[in-house]
Each structure stands twice: as structure tokens, then as C-alpha cells.
Amino acid sequence: MGKYAMLMPVCSYQPQSPALYGRWGPRIPSPIIPVAAALLPRSGRVLIFAADRGDAFDGEGSNWHSTLTAIYDPATNTITATKIADTEHGMFCPGVSLDVDGRPIVSGGMSDTKVSVFDEIGGNWSPLQDMTTGRGYHAQVTLSNGNIFTIGGSWSGGIGGNNVPRKGGEVFDFVHQTWKALPDCLVEPMLTNDSRGAFCSDNHAWLFAWKNESVFQAGPSSAMNWYGTHDTGHYYPARLRGSDFDSMNGNAVMYDAVQGKILTLGGSTSYSESYSTRAAHIVTLSDAYQQVTVEKIRSMHYPRVYANSIVLPNGEVFVNGGVSYAKQWADVNTSLVPEIWNPMTREFVKAAKSPIPRNYHSTAILLPDATVLTGGGGLCWRNCGDSSINHLDVQIYYPPYLFDSGGEALRRRPRILELSSSTIHPGATLVITTDLRIIHFALIRYGSVTHSINTDQRRVALEANPAKIKYVRKDQWHSSIVMPNDLGVVPPGYWMLFAISDQGAPSHAATPYFDSF
């Protein structure tokens, strides 16, 4: 199903053993700092965007209500020249998620009520209806019914509870393309005790779409909550995240959606000028609005805030970048050594040292070839002064599962040859044709990311019944997989489907569409 060979470029950093630590590819220059990114499902290219300038915001001659965008093409390892979005929307520090059609929906930011959608085919931005509340530094998530929920965001559009009302939830109706306030989705339960007060305490919620159109808020506040999106909305307290403190700009990743498993890690008690943590926890969901379980696990090797975490096809989580002391536009105290968390051992192991700091305003996203695109960091305001923190580039990380035990040769990867249907329905059986006998598969939703938040990404582990795997002919096997029947586990939209060999090597992804009917 597409490309079966992977081009391995000459690397700028050679680790001791790629089979243990992975490998970094060369630096790829970018005309803009990728503060935000979205993986486009029809082409596998990556949309990147930031502010109205490539290396600063609110600079001399700035137009707050415009945005530079560019496209990274993995096939050529190049980034196109910048293009100005023409929707009168400054998309710096927004909320972002992919809708059920795989389109990036970007809300708020510099233009606090504006909402825009990117059309991958035409390559253009179009305006959508404005939000009911101005927001920036908020998070949003696509729900099991295709609607989009958002909450918080006092960086822009007024400070909630100060000069404007608190910024509770609202929902975008995908069918009618309209926003509706949810006055009973209160933001107060998820506020952190930030040293900057209300300006930062409602920022960057860790949101997860779940069953019955519910939303689970796993952080960054130590208090976790459920939000309901029906009628005027509602909330239920879930519990504290164990003994964890507020963890602003930490990470939360649903690495096993079938089991409701979320890994949380890192962060700091305040947005800036506070020490970060090495702490990690596993939060387990069951049904919507029920109490959740929390388990403290072995900590990371390094404290991190402003890092990015990516779930890999095998269920491991790649953690990159961050600093040990939260300071927004600085590369001091950088954690240059990434870590990979193993869900079987529940421990973090060190990966190949990164040659480039990836801190505040950096991004990372999984690509369909099972590598990780990292980039950015920097993009300060006009009086920042230190341009050395501006990282106008991206770089590919090649995980250890791509290399054989010797470390230099690429491991043989399975190929997905055909799917019985490109559209998957809840509870349906999908027949996958591969060139090897494959038992293990994984779905990972196409993702989007900004400010260490990727509410789209989640992994669904799939397993074929070994007794029912059929040999068809040479280099062709049929595996039948029964899909989850709850859209809260597998939200509608485009997903990457990986086949995983007995040696742990993932295929290039096929791209099925998970329907809501």
C-alpha cells in the first residue's frame, strides 16, 4: 500500500547502537519555526504553522491577523516556501485538532475568536464560525460524535475571571458548523495554582475524547475531571492524579485506548520560572464519568517541561526535549537525551542524544513510515533578543525497531498489501493482506500538535487470532481483525494502520477511515 522502502539519509549524529538507541537524521531547514503541526492523511505531508513571521511574533511590521504556513514532504525531505493564510486569523498559540474528515481545525490564538480549517487538496485555509469565547493557549479535542470540544485559554481574549468571565467549555457542531457555549462545563475545577495566576491557570488542558461524547481531562492540574458535552454540558470530578503536583506543559499520551491507559509525565507547577519534574503516572479509564485509577510508576531519567511525547506503533512512548527549569525562551538546562517508555517493563530507557534543543514552541509528530518528525523551539516576541533559541528546522528520529541487532542494517519490515475495505465501521471485521504472517497490528490516529499537546494521537492495539490467519499464496497472508465497537475508543476520522512483525518492526502505514455509522 504505497512506499515499502525507507530512504535512510546520511545522519548528523551517530549513536553507539541504533538498535538500542535509534538514530537521528540530518537537520532540515525550515522557513518558519514549527510551533504547530498537523499530519495530513491524504498525502502523509505535514502542515506546519506559527505566527505572521517565521522567527518572531508581534515584531516590527507584524500583522497579528495573518499566519505563515508551510508543508513538509517526507518523500523529498523538503519544506515548501511559506504561504500566508488569508482568513484574517492569527493562529499563533491556538487550539488544534483534526476533524472527522482529516482537516486541521485551528481555533483562537492571536485572533482569539477566529476559527479556520485547512483543505489539504486545495492547499487553502477557509474561515469557520467564530467561537463564543476568545481563547489562546487552550486545548481542543475531536469527540466520538465528530464534534469538537474546547475549554480554557486566558492567554488571549481576556483573562478569565479577571477582565472577562471564566472560560468554560464550548462545542463545535460538525454537521451544522456552529459553536455553542456549554455553561455547565466549568473551567474552575481544572485550574492550576500557577504563580502567574488566572493568565496561565486554565492553559493547555490534557483532553481525551471518550465514550458517550464525554471528555476526560487528565491535567495539567493535579485534579482530574470529566466533562459532558450534551445539552448545556456538565462536569464530574474524577480524582487527584495520585500524589502528582500541577504539571503545566507536561505530557499525556493514550498509549492503549482499548484498555483506557494514559501515560502522564513531566511538567512544572507554573508555566514559567519553576522546576520541572521527572514524575510519571498511568491513569486508567473505564466507563465515562466513573472514578479512574492512578498508578505512580518509575520516573523519567530527566526532569522535563515543554517536551513532546509520541506513541509509537509498538506501544512505546518516545519523549523528546524539554528543560529542567521552566523558562519559556531559553535553551539552558535542556534535556538533550530523549527517553523511550516501555509499557511492558514500565520503565524509561535513554535514546540517542539529540543534536538540537527542542524546548518551548517545539513539536513532534509520528509519520506514516513509523519515524518521528521533531522540530522547532524558540519564536519569541519582539523584544526577546536571543535569536540563538530560534530553531528554524526539523529532524527525523528513527526508532530502534527499524534496525537489526547489529545496529547498522535496516530490519525487514512487513508490508500491508491490501485492506478488505478502506472504510471501517465500529465492530466490523477487517481483513488485512500482508506479505508476512502477522498477528499484531496497531491503529494510531492522525495527529496535530502545539505547545506539547496532541489530543488526536492515541493507539489502539489489534490482534489477529493466530488460528484464523490464512496463507493465500507466496508472500500473501490474510489476517482478520475485529474492530472496537465504541467510537469513544476509536473516534471517527483517518487512522494509520501498522502491521508489526514478530521482531517488532512496523510496516509503513495504511490509511483507513473509521466511520461514525
Active site residues: 360
The backbone region for 25, taken as left when phi is positive above 0, alpha when psi lies in -120 to 50, beta otherwise, is: beta
CB atoms within 10 A of CB 474: 6
User: Distance from CA of residue 484 to its chain's centroid?
Assistant: 22
Q: How far apart are CA 55 and CA 236, in angstroms?
A: 41
Asked whether the beta carbons of 73 and 81 are under 8 A apart, the reply is: no
Asked whether the beta carbons of 313 and 498 are under 8 A apart, the reply is: yes
Question: What number of CA atoms fall less than 13 Å from residue 216's CA on the CB side?
Answer: 30
**Who's near 239: CB < 8 A, 6+ residues apart?**
224, 291, 292, 294
Q: Write 197-200 long-range contacts (CB < 8 A, 24+).
A: 197/162, 198/154, 198/159, 198/160, 198/161, 198/162, 199/154, 199/155, 199/159, 199/162, 200/137, 200/154, 200/155, 200/248, 200/270, 200/271
Q: How far apart are CA 211 and CA 443, in angstroms?
A: 18
Residue with cell 490474510: 478
Asked whether the beta carbons of 350 and 20 are under 8 A apart, the reply is: no
Question: What number of CA atoms fall less than 13 Å from residue 430's CA on the CB side?
Answer: 28
CB atoms within 10 A of CB 221: 25
